[in-house]
């Protein structure tokens, strides 16, 4: 599975959009980009995934660059409850559904 | 109703003991997983079962033995506990079998975790 690089931490004001970047320059054609988050002391939570098109759901939007070497998770109106570690994971189809978590980005949403 | 539940939430025990952590999911999923999150917060997969059959075993010491009595349960038994086993253990589940070709895999739903402390 391709390796990902994320900033260690980010801050965001409540009500503003939080844009979390992820680099995955070695991604291959059959690999998807997944985002999970882990709120303190809880289990990880699925957010969104995509292959090459931009995706949006009730939680967030995922923007994937045309060359697929990077992506951005957007939380359109961050709230204090969005404070969490956000993990960008690249994994291929199949592979036993194995998730390989990196160090993620600690997002802190402040008043 | 809790989708993926684990018991106990906290487990404190002495080195050398044998302990079990239970996991149950009521989502009707076919695949279940165990992950370990160490003190540095690294989260790593340990095992995966699909319809009670082991499909992923990530170089975990054989002191760890998962047991799946049915597809709604995946328990983790640990023999001869060591200090390094102290961690938070998360159970997860996903729908359907792992896809071998075509389409993304299915999202995983995680339990609340079991914090194991070995003294």
Which of A64, A84, A87, A97 to mutate against chain B (most B CBs within 10 Å)?
Answer: A97
How far apart (Å, rounded) are the C-alpha atoms in residues A82 and B45? 25
Contact between chains at B107 and A85 (C-beta distance less than 8 A)? no
pLDDT recorded at residue B37: 95
pLDDT in tens, A44-59: 999 999 999 899 999 9
Alpha-carbon gap: B81 to the closest alpha carbon of chain A (Å): 23
End-to-end CA distance of chain B: 34
pLDDT recorded at residue A34: 93
Nearest partner of B36 among B21, B52, B55, B54, judged by Cα: B21
**Is it the case that residue A43 has pLDDT exceeding 90?**
yes
Please indicate whether residue B106 or residue A80 has the higher confidence score (pLDDT): A80
Chain A residues with CB under 8 Å of a chain B CB are: 32, 34, 38, 41-46, 49, 51, 85, 87, 91, 93-101, 103
Q: Left, alpha or beta for B49 (phi > 0: left; psi -120 to 50: alpha)?
A: beta
Mean of the pLDDT values across residues A9-14?
A: 97
pLDDT in tens, A15-26: 999 999 999 999
For chain B, 119 residues long, give each residue's pLDDT as a single digit of tens. 679 999 999 999 999 999 999 999 999 998 899 999 998 888 999 988 888 888 878 878 999 999 999 989 999 999 999 999 999 999 999 886 555 555 566 789 999 999 999 99
């Amino acid at each position: 599975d391709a390796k990902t690089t994320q900033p260690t931490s980010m801050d965001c004001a409540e009500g503003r959009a939080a844009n979390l970047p992820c680099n995955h320059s070695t991604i291959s054609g059959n690999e998807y980009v997944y985002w999970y988050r882990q709120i303190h002391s809880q289990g990880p939570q699925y957010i969104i995934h995509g292959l090459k098109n931009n995706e949006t759901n009730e939680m967030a939007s995922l923007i994937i660059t045309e060359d697929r070497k990077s992506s951005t998770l957007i939380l359109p109106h961050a709230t204090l409850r969005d404070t969490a570690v956000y993990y960008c994971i690249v994994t291929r189809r199949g592979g036993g559904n194995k998730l390989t978590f990196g160090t993620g980005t600690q997002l802190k949403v402040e008043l | 109703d809790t989708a993926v539940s684990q018991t106990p939430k906290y487990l404190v025990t002495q080195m050398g003991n044998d302990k079990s952590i239970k996991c149950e999911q009521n989502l009707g999923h076919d695949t279940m997983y165990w992950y370990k999150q160490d003190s540095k917060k690294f989260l790593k997969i340990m095992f995966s079962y699909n319809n009670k059959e082991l499909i992923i075993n990530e170089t975990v010491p054989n002191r760890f033995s998962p047991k799946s009595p049915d597809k709604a349960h995946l328990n983790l038994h640990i023999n001869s506990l060591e200090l390094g086993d102290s961690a938070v253990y998360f159970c997860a589940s996903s729908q359907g079998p792992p896809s071998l070709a075509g389409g993304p895999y299915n999202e995983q739903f995680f339990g609340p975790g079991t914090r194991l402390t070995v003294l």
